[in-house]
Structure 1
Amino acid sequence: MNDRRDSIYAVINIGSTSLSGMLATKSPQGRVVPIAAHRVPTAGCVRQGSIHNIEEAAKRISSLLDKLSTALPQEAQISGVYVGLECRSMRSERYDSFIDLGEEGSVVTPEHLLTLKDQVSDASYPGMTILSITEPRYRCDGKREPNPRGVRCRRLEAQYLLIVARQNIIVNVRETIEDRLGLRLLGILPTPIAEAAATMTMEEMALGCAYVNIGGGTTSIAIYQERFPVALFVLPLGGNNVTRDLTQLSVPLLESDAENLKINQGSMNLSVSRTEEIIATSADGSSTKHFSQLEVNRYISARILEILNNVVSIIHEAGCGESIPKGFVFAGGVTKTNYFFETLRKLSPEYRKASLRRDIYEEGVDNNLLANYITEIALAAQASEPGVTYELRPLESLLQEQPTTRSSESAEPVLQPKEEEEESYTYTTISEAQHLPLDDDEDDFFDYREESYKHEEKREPKEKGPSAFERLKSGLSKGISSLFGESDGGDDY
């Protein structure tokens, strides 16, 4: 329990399959110190990252916050939250601003930089809300300049990346948090950008890399180059598509049973024997069904390869194929599918599994929490305004307190993960560092403005071998075309 008056940040991530939250403080170095984390299923109130049923979402978020509040002292309460969003309509828009400084040129001053920033306030996109504006990339007389202040030039330019989402999605978030729950909405954070910033290395950001999160209802792609995000896409495809595919097996399945089959016995391994069978038990345990392991794996592999093919296609269409020499960083629930990374090895791209950078969290954080709450820690790292307030207590109650009495439960520094009836997990982590001083409409799927993501200058093709992007594109083409070819179970993909 946090008995001190440290700044505590509250974050909630709106996922398609689960709503998750975290309370955290930060060390003097700005590293996240988690206090509590919890996750509850959405049960359909969120679809493709967007709140669909406001009333049900409010109930589930309220339950989530109640669980988190048990880690707070009696006089503390959650009054404001940051919300992480990764919805189907979210995308990036490039905005260019400039100032002409005359024929003789002028030395760039802070006022010039503010003028460039003020021009961004004029940006508007019909039906869309601007969620965030990234740090700009500057050019002085057409040349890249990391810090233009003090540089003499005739023309000063700034390139911003604006993250936008459909207005009605933002309205639903505000109504759920502010109107139904009576909380302050401290900010809406684009989850893919927060995750990428917390997991990608400085080298990957500088040289060029794509962060890909394949979740339940959406797949997000954040592309970085020269340490800045250059494009963001969110595709309405994810693990839920795999689940729905499995309901169409030769033996029909309910969606809940298909989900269990996918998680517990599914794989992308197509090298299994044709005679190998699996027995799947229904979610309520009332019946069992027999399936061909190869048939199940082919359904799963086909859909996941299609998702990866869509990722490659959207990167290619945006003209960013040559911008990611460091390859891909993969995250999300779908990447936990058995044989996912083994399949990637056969496709031959340069890739790695996402993990939090060591400078994001404080030493001593539980390893299970780090593995299961990457998104929430990444969002907490972006938070800047505390979300927990403390009520003033009467002097009499303070005098009556026994200063040395604490229950055995609150004396424990770490509570181990406990499985709940709703298949969620709760962690309470108090590091010593804390005590240091201190399926719906997809009409907007292809509504991307291609010119917003084109680079200003084309790069000359390299003389070296095929890039990581080209190898993945070629491998996917081969894998998909041969997926259902005749074989005795020795497929490569």
Structure 2
Amino acid sequence: MDSNPIFAVIDLGSYETVGMVGRKDDGKICPIAYTKEPSSTAVRHGYVCNIDSAATLFDKIITKLSKEEYLGENRAITKVYVGVGAQSLNSTEVVVERSFEEDIVITQELLQEMRDEASQLRIAGKDNLLVTTPTYLVNDVQEKNPKGMPCKCVKAFYQVITARESIRKNIEIALKRINVTLVDILVSPIALADITMTEANKTLGCCQIDLGAGKTSVCIYKNLTPVALYILPMGGQNVTTDLTSLRFLERDAEKFKIEKGSMVVESDRNKGFTFVDQDKTTERKIRYYDFTKITSSRMKEIFANILNIITCSGMQNSLDAGLQITGGGAKLSKFKDFMIKNLECVADVTLRKDMIIWDKPDIADPKCFTALGLLRLAKEDCVDINKNISDLFESEESAAQEAEQKEDVQDPISALWTEDDEAVADGEYDGGSVIIQDDKESEDEMDDTIEIATNSQKQKKSKKEKRGGIGSTFGSLIHKALDFFSDDEEEDMK
């Protein structure tokens, strides 16, 4: 059996949760198996909202991934990494500076000291999940790797990614119920970017959008580092909910959204389709105009929020590699065409096959991309000897030790005491706003606000950047697109 560590990861999704196990070979990911389960009532907006349902969900996933053909004989998954892209996920810029009277040589110890200082950021009610690789300025000149350089001043710009404290707590409680340990919480949008964005994308400036069911993540890279991360509490599920206003059950609304939803509003108001109610006796006609008006309006609202987030980040003129989109919500008919029409430089998220070794074609499913990225970030072996087998060995060893003790007893009095001790031993013991949103947040989401605060230093830095090339053009397209929404809204009012 292969002795290489086996990693286990779970990617939380509001509609579907993915589990995966795999190994690594020379830095490349070797997925072994994966499974997908409906999140049902366990996950909402990317976080565990029902611990009982989450424990059941995790148990189903771990059980399906624990087959002998995947892990080897008498081995079980005892630990797991969980990826989250929850609504409260947010990035905060932290700038750490060191100045000296005379030139000094930058050492690894100095860089680590600066990173440790950035890690000390504490926000009330928030849990620090990740401190990203920083962007460095050495004597006001940007440097990728400053180690060994002489300088009088060095600055490091970090992104500290945080999330609500209860996210980790709820996951730990749910996993504990099935006797599995949480190794760590990983940031799903970062994992997705790591396995899909090329070095050129990350260097030139790229915005990756994952439009899921209950939330939409917006992750922006520039000069090889993440410079902004925001989560919108809106996604494809909002469209489904809106469609229930046409007297659909939610399951029917989801089905028809996928089959008939579109970004193009049907102009012929007499055109429609027949819907048969669950009793199969009642029929009614649904106008395509009404149906597509709902799907188009909500998706335009989500798109407008994405544009606003990019503008507030100050990166609208720096995205020379444009936008990448993925997620179930982005599959709505004509949505990609709509984005290309307004922004031009828009592409699908694609897997970096140079980072993966696999013989399972299904792994190329975009729903598995984030799980693959989580495997790449995992470091600790998650598989151990099956607990039942281990307990059996311990019992046999204890029996052998007791037999030896009995043989060592010489006199009758000692034997009596030994029998009493054994009788006792045999006893049993129980023993993150720019959001245009109609609905009010529910009580359990009140603290999940989107904080889109632009650091003044970032603003100053962005003004100094050269306004040219694709990035500048992209910025003007964003402003035109925002103007388009204003005009479209006036037209609707008429």
Same fold (TM over 0.5): yes
**CA positional deviation for 1:479:** 5.2
Counterpart Cα distance in 2 of 1:135 and 1:87: 21
Q: Contact 1:214 / 1:220 at 8 angstroms: preserved in 2? A: yes
**CA positional deviation for 1:443:** 4.6
Kindly provide the amino acid, as one letter, of the partner of residue 296 in structure 1.
F
The 1:453–1:264 alpha-carbon spacing in structure 2 relative to 1, beyond 3 Å, is farther
2:184 is the alignment partner of 1:215: no
Q: Contact 2:263 / 2:338 at 8 angstroms: preserved in 1? A: yes
**CA positional deviation for 1:289:** 4.0
Kindly provide the amino acid, as one letter, of the partner of residue 359 in structure 2.
G
Secondary structure of residue in 2 paired with 1:323: coil
The 1:482–1:99 alpha-carbon spacing in structure 2 relative to 1, beyond 3 Å, is closer
Counterpart Cα distance in 2 of 1:475 and 1:30: 41
Q: Contact 1:260 / 1:283 at 8 angstroms: preserved in 2? A: no
The 1:63–1:357 alpha-carbon spacing in structure 2 relative to 1, beyond 3 Å, is same
Could you tell me which residue of structure 2 aligns to residue 454 of structure 1?
Answer: 458
Look at both structures and tell me which one has the larger radius of gyration over its CA atoms. Answer: 2
The 1:130–1:284 alpha-carbon spacing in structure 2 relative to 1, beyond 3 Å, is farther
TM-score by length of 2: 0.82
Secondary structure of residue in 1 paired with 2:183: strand
Deviation string 1:235-284 (CA, Å, 9 cap, x unpaired) is 111111101110112xx112222111112222223356433212345578
The 1:138–1:476 alpha-carbon spacing in structure 2 relative to 1, beyond 3 Å, is closer
TM-score by length of 1: 0.82
Secondary structure of residue in 2 paired with 1:341: helix
The 1:85–1:483 alpha-carbon spacing in structure 2 relative to 1, beyond 3 Å, is same
Counterpart Cα distance in 2 of 1:74 and 1:135: 40
Counterpart Cα distance in 1 of 2:325 and 2:141: 33
Counterpart Cα distance in 2 of 1:283 and 1:210: 43
Secondary structure of residue in 2 paired with 1:221: strand
Kindly provide the amino acid, as one letter, of the partner of residue 334 in structure 1.
G
Counterpart Cα distance in 2 of 1:444 and 1:371: 27
Counterpart Cα distance in 2 of 1:283 and 1:326: 48
**CA positional deviation for 1:48:** 0.8
Could you tell me which residue of structure 1 aligns to residue 123 of structure 2?
Answer: 125
Q: Contact 1:94 / 1:452 at 8 angstroms: preserved in 2? A: no
Counterpart Cα distance in 2 of 1:228 and 1:299: 38
Could you tell me which residue of structure 1 aligns to residue 357 of structure 2?
Answer: 362
Could you tell me which residue of structure 2 aligns to residue 400 of structure 1?
Answer: none
2:194 is the alignment partner of 1:197: yes
2:53 is the alignment partner of 1:56: yes
Counterpart Cα distance in 2 of 1:76 and 1:287: 54
Secondary structure of residue in 1 paired with 2:35: strand
Could you tell me which residue of structure 1 aligns to residue 410 of structure 2?
Answer: none
Which ranges in structure 1 are unaligned for 5 or more consecutive residues? 398-438, 487-493
Q: Contact 1:220 / 1:235 at 8 angstroms: preserved in 2? A: yes
Aligned partner (choices 266, 285, 300) of residue 305 of structure 1:
300
Q: Contact 2:118 / 2:160 at 8 angstroms: preserved in 1? A: no
Deviation string 1:198-234 (CA, Å, 9 cap, x unpaired) is 1112111101111111111111111110111001001
Using the TM superposition, name which of 75-84 and 376-385 deviates more.
Answer: 376-385
Could you tell me which residue of structure 1 aligns to residue 140 of structure 2?
Answer: 142
Q: Contact 2:320 / 2:469 at 8 angstroms: preserved in 1? A: no
**CA positional deviation for 1:455:** 4.0
Alignment of 1:26-105 (within 5 A): 26-27=24-25, 29-70=26-67, 71-101=70-100, 103-105=101-103
Alignment of 1:77-476 (within 5 A): 77-101=76-100, 103-177=101-175, 179-249=176-246, 252-270=247-265, 273-281=268-276, 289-367=284-362, 369-391=364-386, 440=442, 441-451=445-455, 454-457=458-461, 458-459=463-464, 462=467, 467-476=473-482
The 1:286–1:157 alpha-carbon spacing in structure 2 relative to 1, beyond 3 Å, is farther
Could you tell me which residue of structure 2 aligns to residue 482 of structure 1?
Answer: 488
Q: Contact 2:266 / 2:292 at 8 angstroms: preserved in 1? A: no
Deviating 4+ runs (over 6 angstroms): 283-286
Q: Contact 2:90 / 2:229 at 8 angstroms: preserved in 1? A: yes
Secondary structure of residue in 1 paired with 2:159: strand
The 1:223–1:31 alpha-carbon spacing in structure 2 relative to 1, beyond 3 Å, is same
Counterpart Cα distance in 1 of 2:278 and 2:123: 45
Using the TM superposition, name which of 139-148 and 83-92 deviates more.
Answer: 139-148
The 1:472–1:442 alpha-carbon spacing in structure 2 relative to 1, beyond 3 Å, is farther
Q: Which has the higher helix share?
A: 2
Could you tell me which residue of structure 1 aligns to residue 429 of structure 2?
Answer: none
Q: Contact 2:119 / 2:131 at 8 angstroms: preserved in 1? A: no
Could you tell me which residue of structure 2 aligns to residue 406 of structure 1?
Answer: none
Q: Contact 2:42 / 2:57 at 8 angstroms: preserved in 1? A: no
Counterpart Cα distance in 2 of 1:142 and 1:273: 60
Secondary structure of residue in 1 paired with 2:226: strand
Using the TM superposition, name which of 11-20 and 342-351 deviates more.
Answer: 342-351
Which ranges in structure 2 are unaligned for 5 or more consecutive residues? 394-440
Deviation string 1:356-382 (CA, Å, 9 cap, x unpaired) is 112221153415644431111111111
Secondary structure of residue in 2 paired with 1:279: strand
Counterpart Cα distance in 1 of 2:107 and 2:113: 10
Q: Contact 1:349 / 1:472 at 8 angstroms: preserved in 2? A: no
Q: Contact 2:35 / 2:61 at 8 angstroms: preserved in 1? A: yes
Kindly provide the amino acid, as one letter, of the partner of residue 450 in structure 1.
T
Secondary structure of residue in 2 paired with 1:450: coil
Q: Contact 1:33 / 1:365 at 8 angstroms: preserved in 2? A: no
Deviation string 1:81-136 (CA, Å, 9 cap, x unpaired) is 110001111000111112223x2211112221222122124211111110011112
Q: Contact 1:305 / 1:480 at 8 angstroms: preserved in 2? A: no
Deviation string 1:36-66 (CA, Å, 9 cap, x unpaired) is 1111112122111111111111111101111
Deviation string 1:281-301 (CA, Å, 9 cap, x unpaired) is 557877654311232112111
Kindly provide the amino acid, as one letter, of the partner of residue 326 in structure 1.
A
Counterpart Cα distance in 2 of 1:453 and 1:164: 20
Secondary structure of residue in 1 paired with 2:221: strand
The 1:283–1:258 alpha-carbon spacing in structure 2 relative to 1, beyond 3 Å, is farther
**CA positional deviation for 1:149:** 1.5
Q: Contact 1:207 / 1:225 at 8 angstroms: preserved in 2? A: yes
Counterpart Cα distance in 2 of 1:461 and 1:107: 30
Kindly provide the amino acid, as one letter, of the partner of residue 298 in structure 1.
K
Counterpart Cα distance in 1 of 2:234 and 2:309: 13
Counterpart Cα distance in 2 of 1:469 and 1:259: 34
Deviation string 1:131-167 (CA, Å, 9 cap, x unpaired) is 0111122221221121211111112222211110011
Counterpart Cα distance in 2 of 1:181 and 1:50: 18
Could you tell me which residue of structure 2 aligns to residue 4 of structure 1?
Answer: 2
Q: Contact 2:316 / 2:474 at 8 angstroms: preserved in 1? A: no
Could you tell me which residue of structure 1 aligns to residue 18 of structure 2?
Answer: 20
**CA positional deviation for 1:188:** 0.6
Kindly provide the amino acid, as one letter, of the partner of residue 29 in structure 2.
V
